[in-house]
Amino acid sequence: MPLSSVEFLLFVALSVIAFRLSPRRGRPHVLLVASYGFYCTWNPQMAGALLGITVVCYYAALYVESSRGRPLAPRITVAVVSGLILYIVAWKARAVLSSGGGIVIPLGVSYYTFRLISYLLDVHWGTVPAERSLVPFAAYVAFFPQMMAGPIERASSFLPQLGAGGTADRGRTFEGVMRILLGFFKKFVVADNLALIVDYGYRHLGSGSSVPSALSFYLYPVQLYADFSGLADIALGVGLLFGLKGPENFDAPFSASSISEYWRRWHMTLTSWLRDYVFMPLRMATRTWGTAGLIVSVVVNMMLIAVWHGFTLGFVAFGAVNATFLVVDVLTSARRQKFWRRHPGLLRAATIVGMIVTYHIVSLSETFFRAPSFADAARLLGGLGAGLHGFGEALAVVTAPPNHYAWIALPAFVLTETADAVRRRRGMGLPAGLPRWARWSAVTCLAGAFVFMALLFLARKSATNPFVYANF
């Protein structure tokens, strides 16, 4: 059941109605049934595997909490966490080794495995109590809106909300619907249209002009961001319809003036997860190594982000590029801060230059992320300096149907970024105490947005690109 489908919207509507009509104590059961029902539409056998490791982790956490201080408790934690790591590594490796042999990776394996690992470690460290009821815990692990691409929510945030039955008031419902509409707008209008141009660039790498390479190089980061953040908006919006507020996953990453800041703003739940469970423990273990320990911690953390996407040479190169610039950024941070304190008048210009440089670093690394092969990535990067031979021909192609409609994506992207900026400052919900005319105006605007989105669903091609991060 693809998220960009009418069937998914109907499924969400029926699930939300059943959830809200249920008594508070029964709502976790409704959510669990809905989540596993959604999962079974993809692969019923993998749903059994998900249930199996959920039950193992549930009882392991109960034992670890009740046996804290005993020698066996940390061994159980290490054994189960190691098993979860091997579980995800085995699936990722099998997908690479199959070479298109029809191997099906469990839906959301990266996301629910990370949830289980963080939960077990938090219980082991005593930062969260072990959940006593299996049903809410299983609903947390399999929560269907976040199954395909996160965010990676912590148990300490999700379970108390579910235990309270979800706060599905009018304001949160309005905000949820608006987030869903914003997410589909990003996907259909921005990401899918930019994909036409980016795909054209990759199909014409040997054209003798730098135009196709430049189009793919500069536009793919925007396409990926619109696609991924749109998927996150849909997931968070659906969660709000159940009265469950999830963590934000993006914070205007293209406004970052350094690569370190970019990664603090991009896929924030993954980077914060790795910071808490990988980077900080590793940094503490290598603190006596001085600068070498810092470098090792940064590189390992970044390479884990890379191979989390998949065990391919392209993803390794993606991680290596980011790791290299992150190390340079971290090692020069103190000197740069000292320089800016001495020359505060240059700070604004430096911020703008930093944003431009950071975008180029991101574009470079994501070339390896997007290219079908390492060789294609090298061809694209080499094509950037091919000159403007054939510029007129290339320009004619990208401005001819259907690509001439694709350029609407750029002003649409500016519109969505503006909407996100407003949302971050003021929210999308209905403020309390609004007069009746204002509430009806908001409802009218929402109805208009629904009609517009329905037209997008009807007008889109049947072969609409799937969400990129649904593959991870």
- Residue numbers annotated as active site: 309
d(CA 278, CA 471): 23
CB 228 within 8 A of CB 173: no
Q: Which residues neighbour 256 within 8 Å (Cβ) at sequence distance 6 or greater?
A: 262, 264, 265, 354, 355, 358
Integer Cα distance of 122 and 65 in angstroms: 10
Alpha carbon 445 to chain centroid, angstroms: 28
Q: Which two tokens stand for residue 49?
A: 């595997």
Dist. CA 142–CA 33, nearest whole Å: 10
Asked whether the bond before 401 is cis by omega within 30 degrees of 0, the reply is no
**Closest to 9 measured CA to CA, from 186, 229, 184, 190:** 184
Determine the Cα–Cα distance for residues 322 and 226; give it in Å rounded to an integer. 20
State the Cα–Cα distance between residues 159 and 172, nearest whole angstrom: 18
Instruction: Report which residue type is found at 344.
Output: P
CA-to-CA distance for 176 and 431, rounded, in angstroms? 14
Contacts of residue 173, Cβ cutoff 8 Å, sequence gap at least 6: 240, 241
Rounded to 10 deg, the angle between the 134-142 and 27-40 helix axes is 40
Q: For residue 202, what are the CA distances in angstroms to 81, 186, 205, 216, 399? A: 40, 22, 6, 7, 16
Sequence-distant (≥ 6) Cβ neighbours of residue 260 within 8 angstroms: 326, 329, 330, 333
